[in-house]
Copies of this chain bind each other. A is one copy, B any other.
Amino acid sequence: MRTALTDLLGVEHPLVGFNRSPGVVAAVTNAGGFGVLAASMYTPAELDAQLRWIEEQVDGRPYGVDLLVPEKFAASDPDDLVASLRAQIPDEHRAFVDSLLDEYQVPAVEDPDADTLDEIAAAINPAGAEALLDVAFAHPIAMVANALGPPPADLVERAHAAGVVVASLVGQRKHAERQLAAGVDVLVAQGTEAGGHTGTIATTVLTPEVVEVAGDHPVLAAGGIATGDQMAAALALGAAGVWCGSVWLASHEDITPRAIKDKFLAAGSSDTLRSRTMTGKPARQLRSAWHDAWDRPDAPAPLPLPLQPMLAGRAWNRLHAAAAEGHPGATALDTYFIGQVVGGFRELRPAGDIARTMIEDCTRRLRALGELAR
Protein backbone atom coordinates (compact mmCIF):
# COMPACT_ATOMS: atom_id res chain seq x y z
CA MET A 1 0.00 0.00 0.00
CA ARG A 2 1.80 3.09 -1.22
CA THR A 3 0.36 6.42 -0.03
CA ALA A 4 1.60 9.97 0.57
CA LEU A 5 2.42 8.85 4.12
CA THR A 6 4.49 5.80 3.20
CA ASP A 7 6.42 7.94 0.71
CA LEU A 8 7.04 10.65 3.30
CA LEU A 9 8.18 8.33 6.09
CA GLY A 10 9.80 5.65 3.97
CA VAL A 11 7.73 2.83 5.46
CA GLU A 12 6.00 -0.11 3.83
CA HIS A 13 2.47 0.30 5.26
CA PRO A 14 0.42 3.38 6.23
CA LEU A 15 -0.06 2.19 9.83
CA VAL A 16 1.18 4.39 12.68
CA GLY A 17 1.20 2.83 16.14
CA PHE A 18 1.20 5.21 19.13
CA ASN A 19 1.97 3.84 22.60
CA ARG A 20 3.91 4.56 25.77
CA SER A 21 5.62 1.15 25.68
CA PRO A 22 8.87 0.96 23.69
CA GLY A 23 8.10 -2.70 22.95
CA VAL A 24 4.99 -1.72 21.02
CA VAL A 25 6.79 1.06 19.14
CA ALA A 26 9.55 -1.32 18.01
CA ALA A 27 7.07 -4.06 17.06
CA VAL A 28 4.98 -1.74 14.86
CA THR A 29 8.06 -0.37 13.12
CA ASN A 30 9.41 -3.87 12.59
CA ALA A 31 6.07 -4.97 11.08
CA GLY A 32 6.52 -2.36 8.33
CA GLY A 33 4.44 0.32 10.05
CA PHE A 34 5.67 3.32 12.01
CA GLY A 35 5.90 3.29 15.82
CA VAL A 36 5.52 6.49 17.86
CA LEU A 37 6.52 6.65 21.54
CA ALA A 38 4.50 8.77 24.00
CA ALA A 39 7.51 10.76 25.24
CA SER A 40 5.52 12.85 27.76
CA MET A 41 5.17 9.76 29.96
CA TYR A 42 8.87 9.92 30.80
CA THR A 43 11.58 12.04 32.38
CA PRO A 44 14.35 13.08 29.96
CA ALA A 45 16.70 10.39 31.33
CA GLU A 46 14.03 7.69 31.01
CA LEU A 47 13.21 8.82 27.46
CA ASP A 48 16.84 8.58 26.44
CA ALA A 49 16.99 4.98 27.65
CA GLN A 50 13.71 4.07 25.93
CA LEU A 51 14.78 5.50 22.58
CA ARG A 52 18.14 3.76 22.80
CA TRP A 53 16.35 0.45 23.44
CA ILE A 54 13.99 0.99 20.50
CA GLU A 55 16.95 1.65 18.17
CA GLU A 56 18.53 -1.62 19.23
CA GLN A 57 15.36 -3.42 18.08
CA VAL A 58 14.50 -1.72 14.79
CA ASP A 59 17.77 -1.96 12.84
CA GLY A 60 17.58 1.53 11.36
CA ARG A 61 13.87 1.45 10.53
CA PRO A 62 12.09 4.76 11.25
CA TYR A 63 10.12 5.65 14.38
CA GLY A 64 8.88 8.83 16.07
CA VAL A 65 7.96 10.46 19.35
CA ASP A 66 4.83 12.24 20.59
CA LEU A 67 4.81 15.14 23.06
CA LEU A 68 2.13 17.04 24.97
CA VAL A 69 2.77 20.78 24.70
CA PRO A 70 -0.38 22.53 25.96
CA GLU A 71 -1.15 26.02 24.70
CA LYS A 72 -2.18 27.23 28.16
CA PHE A 73 -0.24 26.36 31.27
CA ALA A 74 -0.81 27.10 34.96
CA ALA A 75 1.28 30.03 36.21
CA SER A 76 4.23 28.63 38.15
CA ASP A 77 7.71 29.35 39.44
CA PRO A 78 10.17 27.85 36.92
CA ASP A 79 12.83 27.51 39.62
CA ASP A 80 10.59 25.40 41.81
CA LEU A 81 8.10 24.04 39.33
CA VAL A 82 6.78 20.98 41.14
CA ALA A 83 6.38 22.71 44.51
CA SER A 84 4.69 25.79 43.03
CA LEU A 85 2.23 23.61 41.12
CA ARG A 86 1.59 21.34 44.11
CA ALA A 87 0.70 24.41 46.15
CA GLN A 88 -2.08 25.20 43.65
CA ILE A 89 -3.99 21.98 44.33
CA PRO A 90 -6.83 22.93 46.71
CA ASP A 91 -7.20 21.04 49.99
CA GLU A 92 -10.79 20.24 48.99
CA HIS A 93 -9.53 18.26 46.01
CA ARG A 94 -6.93 16.33 48.03
CA ALA A 95 -9.55 15.54 50.67
CA PHE A 96 -12.02 14.36 48.01
CA VAL A 97 -9.56 11.93 46.45
CA ASP A 98 -8.36 10.67 49.84
CA SER A 99 -11.90 10.09 51.08
CA LEU A 100 -12.80 8.31 47.83
CA LEU A 101 -9.92 5.86 48.22
CA ASP A 102 -10.83 5.37 51.88
CA GLU A 103 -14.47 4.78 50.94
CA TYR A 104 -13.36 1.96 48.63
CA GLN A 105 -10.93 0.75 51.33
CA VAL A 106 -7.94 1.00 49.02
CA PRO A 107 -4.82 0.39 51.16
CA ALA A 108 -2.13 3.06 51.26
CA VAL A 109 1.17 2.08 49.63
CA GLU A 110 4.76 3.15 49.90
CA ASP A 111 5.03 5.20 46.72
CA PRO A 112 8.61 5.68 45.59
CA ASP A 113 7.39 6.97 42.20
CA ALA A 114 5.30 9.83 43.56
CA ASP A 115 7.93 12.53 43.08
CA THR A 116 8.77 11.26 39.60
CA LEU A 117 5.09 11.28 38.66
CA ASP A 118 4.78 14.89 39.79
CA GLU A 119 7.87 15.84 37.80
CA ILE A 120 6.45 14.21 34.68
CA ALA A 121 3.08 15.93 35.06
CA ALA A 122 4.73 19.28 35.81
CA ALA A 123 6.86 18.91 32.69
CA ILE A 124 3.78 19.07 30.43
CA ASN A 125 4.71 22.65 29.49
CA PRO A 126 6.86 24.31 26.83
CA ALA A 127 10.05 24.18 28.94
CA GLY A 128 9.47 20.56 29.95
CA ALA A 129 8.76 19.60 26.34
CA GLU A 130 12.00 21.34 25.32
CA ALA A 131 13.99 19.11 27.65
CA LEU A 132 12.36 16.00 26.17
CA LEU A 133 12.91 17.32 22.65
CA ASP A 134 16.62 17.81 23.36
CA VAL A 135 16.77 14.11 24.15
CA ALA A 136 14.64 13.10 21.17
CA PHE A 137 16.61 15.16 18.65
CA ALA A 138 19.81 13.47 19.85
CA HIS A 139 18.27 10.26 18.46
CA PRO A 140 17.48 9.45 14.81
CA ILE A 141 13.74 10.14 15.13
CA ALA A 142 11.76 10.53 11.89
CA MET A 143 8.68 12.29 13.32
CA VAL A 144 7.69 14.44 16.24
CA ALA A 145 3.96 14.68 16.97
CA ASN A 146 2.07 17.02 19.30
CA ALA A 147 -1.40 16.47 20.66
CA LEU A 148 -2.45 19.70 22.38
CA GLY A 149 -2.63 22.62 19.97
CA PRO A 150 -0.19 24.02 17.40
CA PRO A 151 3.53 23.37 18.04
CA PRO A 152 5.77 26.30 19.00
CA ALA A 153 7.52 27.86 15.99
CA ASP A 154 10.97 26.84 17.22
CA LEU A 155 9.90 23.20 17.42
CA VAL A 156 8.86 23.26 13.75
CA GLU A 157 12.09 25.02 12.72
CA ARG A 158 14.23 22.65 14.71
CA ALA A 159 12.47 19.57 13.33
CA HIS A 160 12.62 20.71 9.73
CA ALA A 161 16.30 21.65 10.05
CA ALA A 162 16.90 18.07 11.24
CA GLY A 163 14.76 16.52 8.48
CA VAL A 164 12.14 15.41 11.02
CA VAL A 165 8.46 15.33 10.04
CA VAL A 166 6.10 17.32 12.31
CA ALA A 167 2.64 15.83 12.95
CA SER A 168 -0.26 17.16 15.00
CA LEU A 169 -3.50 15.69 16.31
CA VAL A 170 -6.62 17.71 15.53
CA GLY A 171 -10.29 17.32 16.42
CA GLN A 172 -11.81 20.11 14.35
CA ARG A 173 -11.35 21.62 10.90
CA LYS A 174 -10.30 24.98 12.35
CA HIS A 175 -7.59 23.27 14.40
CA ALA A 176 -6.27 21.74 11.20
CA GLU A 177 -6.08 25.17 9.57
CA ARG A 178 -4.11 26.56 12.53
CA GLN A 179 -1.73 23.61 12.48
CA LEU A 180 -1.02 24.04 8.78
CA ALA A 181 -0.34 27.74 9.37
CA ALA A 182 2.14 26.71 12.08
CA GLY A 183 4.06 24.61 9.53
CA VAL A 184 2.90 21.11 10.45
CA ASP A 185 3.56 18.42 7.79
CA VAL A 186 1.09 15.67 8.74
CA LEU A 187 -2.35 16.05 10.31
CA VAL A 188 -3.91 13.35 12.47
CA ALA A 189 -7.72 13.67 12.38
CA GLN A 190 -8.75 12.22 15.72
CA GLY A 191 -12.43 11.31 15.97
CA THR A 192 -14.48 11.34 19.15
CA GLU A 193 -14.40 7.52 19.37
CA ALA A 194 -10.62 7.65 20.03
CA GLY A 195 -9.04 7.01 23.42
CA GLY A 196 -7.25 9.81 25.26
CA HIS A 197 -7.68 13.52 24.59
CA THR A 198 -10.39 13.84 21.98
CA GLY A 199 -13.18 16.07 20.69
CA THR A 200 -16.80 15.43 19.74
CA ILE A 201 -16.72 14.91 15.95
CA ALA A 202 -16.67 11.31 14.72
CA THR A 203 -13.91 9.93 12.47
CA THR A 204 -16.34 9.44 9.53
CA VAL A 205 -17.05 13.19 9.50
CA LEU A 206 -13.76 14.66 10.73
CA THR A 207 -11.40 12.80 8.38
CA PRO A 208 -12.80 14.17 5.09
CA GLU A 209 -13.06 17.66 6.63
CA VAL A 210 -9.37 17.61 7.51
CA VAL A 211 -8.44 16.07 4.14
CA GLU A 212 -10.28 18.93 2.45
CA VAL A 213 -8.16 21.62 4.14
CA ALA A 214 -4.88 19.64 4.14
CA GLY A 215 -4.08 20.03 0.44
CA ASP A 216 -0.96 17.96 -0.29
CA HIS A 217 -0.28 17.23 3.39
CA PRO A 218 -0.96 13.61 4.35
CA VAL A 219 -3.83 13.10 6.78
CA LEU A 220 -4.01 10.14 9.16
CA ALA A 221 -7.35 9.02 10.56
CA ALA A 222 -7.45 8.19 14.27
CA GLY A 223 -10.27 6.87 16.43
CA GLY A 224 -12.29 3.72 15.83
CA ILE A 225 -9.47 1.94 14.00
CA ALA A 226 -8.34 -1.41 15.36
CA THR A 227 -8.93 -3.78 12.43
CA GLY A 228 -8.01 -4.04 8.77
CA ASP A 229 -11.60 -3.20 7.78
CA GLN A 230 -11.49 -0.03 9.85
CA MET A 231 -8.12 0.81 8.30
CA ALA A 232 -9.65 0.35 4.83
CA ALA A 233 -12.54 2.61 5.86
CA ALA A 234 -10.06 5.32 6.86
CA LEU A 235 -8.41 5.09 3.44
CA ALA A 236 -11.88 5.32 1.84
CA LEU A 237 -12.42 8.57 3.75
CA GLY A 238 -9.37 10.03 2.00
CA ALA A 239 -6.78 9.42 4.70
CA ALA A 240 -3.22 8.54 3.65
CA GLY A 241 -2.98 6.19 6.61
CA VAL A 242 -4.11 5.50 10.15
CA TRP A 243 -2.90 6.50 13.61
CA CYS A 244 -3.83 3.78 16.11
CA GLY A 245 -3.49 4.06 19.87
CA SER A 246 -6.04 1.94 21.70
CA VAL A 247 -5.49 -1.30 19.77
CA TRP A 248 -2.00 -1.77 21.27
CA LEU A 249 -3.44 -1.86 24.79
CA ALA A 250 -4.52 -5.38 23.83
CA SER A 251 -0.89 -6.34 23.20
CA HIS A 252 1.54 -8.22 25.45
CA GLU A 253 4.16 -5.48 25.08
CA ASP A 254 1.92 -2.71 26.40
CA ILE A 255 2.79 -1.79 30.01
CA THR A 256 -0.73 -0.97 31.25
CA PRO A 257 -1.36 -2.95 34.47
CA ARG A 258 -2.89 -6.37 33.88
CA ALA A 259 -5.87 -5.58 36.15
CA ILE A 260 -6.86 -2.77 33.78
CA LYS A 261 -6.23 -4.88 30.69
CA ASP A 262 -8.60 -7.48 32.18
CA LYS A 263 -11.25 -4.76 32.50
CA PHE A 264 -10.64 -3.82 28.85
CA LEU A 265 -11.09 -7.44 27.74
CA ALA A 266 -14.45 -7.56 29.57
CA ALA A 267 -15.69 -4.16 28.33
CA GLY A 268 -18.14 -3.29 25.58
CA SER A 269 -17.96 -0.33 23.22
CA SER A 270 -20.49 1.57 25.36
CA ASP A 271 -18.25 1.38 28.42
CA THR A 272 -16.09 4.43 27.72
CA LEU A 273 -16.69 8.12 28.35
CA ARG A 274 -15.00 11.47 27.80
CA SER A 275 -13.92 12.87 31.18
CA ARG A 276 -11.70 15.65 32.54
CA THR A 277 -10.97 13.71 35.73
CA MET A 278 -7.65 12.17 34.65
CA THR A 279 -5.80 15.04 32.97
CA GLY A 280 -8.00 18.12 33.30
CA LYS A 281 -8.90 17.96 29.60
CA PRO A 282 -11.63 15.79 28.02
CA ALA A 283 -10.08 12.38 27.39
CA ARG A 284 -11.83 9.12 26.53
CA GLN A 285 -11.27 6.35 29.08
CA LEU A 286 -12.95 3.27 30.51
CA ARG A 287 -15.92 4.21 32.68
CA SER A 288 -15.39 3.16 36.31
CA ALA A 289 -16.53 3.94 39.86
CA TRP A 290 -13.95 6.79 39.74
CA HIS A 291 -16.18 8.70 37.29
CA ASP A 292 -19.36 8.00 39.26
CA ALA A 293 -17.67 9.61 42.27
CA TRP A 294 -16.62 12.74 40.35
CA ASP A 295 -20.21 13.05 39.08
CA ARG A 296 -21.64 13.29 42.63
CA PRO A 297 -23.10 16.67 43.61
CA ASP A 298 -20.48 17.09 46.38
CA ALA A 299 -17.51 16.38 44.09
CA PRO A 300 -15.21 19.28 43.17
CA ALA A 301 -14.72 20.24 39.51
CA PRO A 302 -11.58 18.70 37.95
CA LEU A 303 -8.52 20.96 37.98
CA PRO A 304 -6.73 22.15 34.80
CA LEU A 305 -3.71 20.37 33.31
CA PRO A 306 -1.19 19.63 34.91
CA LEU A 307 -2.78 19.99 38.36
CA GLN A 308 -5.40 17.26 37.83
CA PRO A 309 -2.83 14.60 36.78
CA MET A 310 -0.68 15.61 39.77
CA LEU A 311 -3.72 15.20 42.02
CA ALA A 312 -4.79 11.93 40.43
CA GLY A 313 -1.29 10.47 40.05
CA ARG A 314 -0.87 9.33 43.63
CA ALA A 315 -4.36 7.86 43.58
CA TRP A 316 -3.50 5.89 40.46
CA ASN A 317 -0.36 4.41 41.96
CA ARG A 318 -2.32 3.37 45.04
CA LEU A 319 -5.15 1.96 42.90
CA HIS A 320 -2.90 0.09 40.49
CA ALA A 321 -0.96 -1.53 43.36
CA ALA A 322 -4.13 -2.71 45.11
CA ALA A 323 -5.89 -3.74 41.88
CA ALA A 324 -2.85 -5.87 40.99
CA GLU A 325 -3.55 -7.84 44.21
CA GLY A 326 -7.20 -8.29 43.22
CA HIS A 327 -8.54 -5.69 45.66
CA PRO A 328 -12.22 -5.27 44.72
CA GLY A 329 -12.53 -1.56 45.61
CA ALA A 330 -9.38 -0.64 43.72
CA THR A 331 -10.49 -2.72 40.75
CA ALA A 332 -13.86 -0.93 40.69
CA LEU A 333 -12.15 2.49 40.61
CA ASP A 334 -9.24 1.69 38.31
CA THR A 335 -9.30 2.95 34.71
CA TYR A 336 -7.11 4.09 31.82
CA PHE A 337 -7.38 5.87 28.47
CA ILE A 338 -9.09 3.73 25.81
CA GLY A 339 -11.24 4.26 22.74
CA GLN A 340 -14.58 2.71 21.79
CA VAL A 341 -12.71 -0.07 19.94
CA VAL A 342 -12.21 -1.65 23.38
CA GLY A 343 -15.48 -3.50 22.70
CA GLY A 344 -13.61 -5.64 20.16
CA PHE A 345 -10.80 -6.75 22.51
CA ARG A 346 -10.89 -10.54 22.92
CA GLU A 347 -7.38 -11.54 24.02
CA LEU A 348 -3.89 -10.14 24.45
CA ARG A 349 -1.60 -10.72 21.46
CA PRO A 350 1.91 -9.75 20.38
CA ALA A 351 1.88 -6.18 19.00
CA GLY A 352 3.61 -7.29 15.80
CA ASP A 353 0.86 -9.87 15.17
CA ILE A 354 -1.80 -7.20 15.66
CA ALA A 355 -0.05 -4.92 13.14
CA ARG A 356 0.45 -7.68 10.55
CA THR A 357 -3.15 -8.88 10.86
CA MET A 358 -4.45 -5.33 10.36
CA ILE A 359 -2.31 -4.85 7.27
CA GLU A 360 -3.29 -8.21 5.74
CA ASP A 361 -6.99 -7.74 6.48
CA CYS A 362 -6.89 -4.20 5.11
CA THR A 363 -5.28 -5.39 1.89
CA ARG A 364 -7.90 -8.12 1.51
CA ARG A 365 -10.74 -5.67 2.11
CA LEU A 366 -9.36 -3.14 -0.37
CA ARG A 367 -9.22 -5.83 -3.06
CA ALA A 368 -12.80 -6.87 -2.31
CA LEU A 369 -13.97 -3.26 -2.53
CA GLY A 370 -12.28 -2.92 -5.91
CA GLU A 371 -14.13 -6.02 -7.10
CA LEU A 372 -17.44 -4.58 -5.87
CA ALA A 373 -17.07 -1.63 -8.26
CA ARG A 374 -16.37 -3.73 -11.36
Question: Is the pair B209, A344 in contact by a Cβ cutoff of 8 Å?
Answer: yes
Give me 18 A-to-B residue pairs in the complex whose CB atoms sit less than 8 angstroms apart, sorted by A's number: A1-B373, A173-B268, A173-B269, A193-B201, A193-B205, A201-B340, A202-B223, A204-B224, A205-B340, A206-B269, A208-B230, A209-B269, A229-B236, A229-B238, A235-B236, A235-B369, A236-B236, A366-B369
Question: Is the pair A191, B209 in contact by a Cβ cutoff of 8 Å?
Answer: no
Please pick, from B269, B339, B370, the residue contacting A367 in the complex, using a CB distance under 8 A: B370
Instruction: Please report the C-alpha to C-alpha distance between residue A344 and residue B369 in the assembled complex, in whole angstroms.
Output: 25
A263 CB contacts on chain B under 8 angstroms: none
A85 CB contacts on chain B under 8 angstroms: none
Secondary structure call for the A interface:
helix
A367 CB contacts on chain B under 8 angstroms: 370, 373
Question: Is the pair B202, A224 in contact by a Cβ cutoff of 8 Å?
Answer: yes
Instruction: Please tell me the number of chain A residues within 8 Å of chain B, measured between CB atoms.
Output: 50
Please name the residue on chain B nearest to A227 by beta carbon. B208
Q: Residue A146 at the B interface, CB < 8 A? A: no
A residues contacting B by CB (< 8 A) are: 1-3, 172-173, 191-193, 199-206, 208-209, 223-225, 227, 229-230, 232-238, 268-270, 339-341, 343-344, 362-367, 369-373
A232 CB contacts on chain B under 8 angstroms: 236, 369
A363 CB contacts on chain B under 8 angstroms: 373
Question: Is the pair B202, A235 in contact by a Cβ cutoff of 8 Å?
Answer: no
Instruction: Please report the C-alpha to C-alpha distance between residue A366 and residue B234 in the assembled complex, in whole angstroms.
Output: 13
Please pick, from B206, B238, B270, B339, the residue contacting A172 in the complex, using a CB distance under 8 A: B270
A341 CB contacts on chain B under 8 angstroms: 205
A340 CB contacts on chain B under 8 angstroms: 201-202, 205
Question: Is the pair B203, A202 in contact by a Cβ cutoff of 8 Å?
Answer: yes
Q: A370-B373, A373-B1 are in contact. Are A204 and B202 (CB under 8 A)?
A: yes
| Copies of this protein chain in the complex | 2
Chain B's nearest CB lies how many Å from the CB of A345? 12
A365 CB contacts on chain B under 8 angstroms: 236
Question: Is the pair B201, A192 in contact by a Cβ cutoff of 8 Å?
Answer: no
Chain B's nearest CB lies how many Å from the CB of A321? 32
Instruction: Please report the C-alpha to C-alpha distance between residue A274 and residue B343 in the assembled complex, in whole angstroms.
Output: 22
Q: Which 4 A-B pairs have the closest CB atoms?
A: A370-B370, A204-B224, A366-B373, A193-B202
Question: Is the pair B202, A372 in contact by a Cβ cutoff of 8 Å?
Answer: no
Please name the residue on chain B nearest to A205 by beta carbon. B340
Instruction: Please report the C-alpha to C-alpha distance between residue A173 and residue B271 in the assembled complex, in whole angstroms.
Output: 12
A172 CB contacts on chain B under 8 angstroms: 268-270
Question: Is the pair A192, B192 in contact by a Cβ cutoff of 8 Å?
Answer: yes
Please name the residue on chain B nearest to A366 by beta carbon. B373
Instruction: Please report the C-alpha to C-alpha distance between residue A269 and residue B170 in the assembled complex, in whole angstroms.
Output: 14
Please name the residue on chain B nearest to A224 by beta carbon. B204
Instruction: Please report the C-alpha to C-alpha distance between residue A208 and residue B224 in the assembled complex, in whole angstroms.
Output: 11
Chain B's nearest CB lies how many Å from the CB of A301? 16
Most-contacted residue by chain B among A205, A206, A230, A269 (CB, 10 A): A205
Most-contacted residue by chain B among A201, A202, A364 (CB, 10 A): A202
A370 CB contacts on chain B under 8 angstroms: 366-367, 369-371, 373
Please pick, from B203, B235, B238, B372, the residue contacting A204 in the complex, using a CB distance under 8 A: B203
Please name the residue on chain B nearest to A206 by beta carbon. B269
Question: Is the pair A229, B202 in contact by a Cβ cutoff of 8 Å?
Answer: no
Please pick, from B199, B208, B269, B372, the residue contacting A229 in the complex, using a CB distance under 8 A: B208
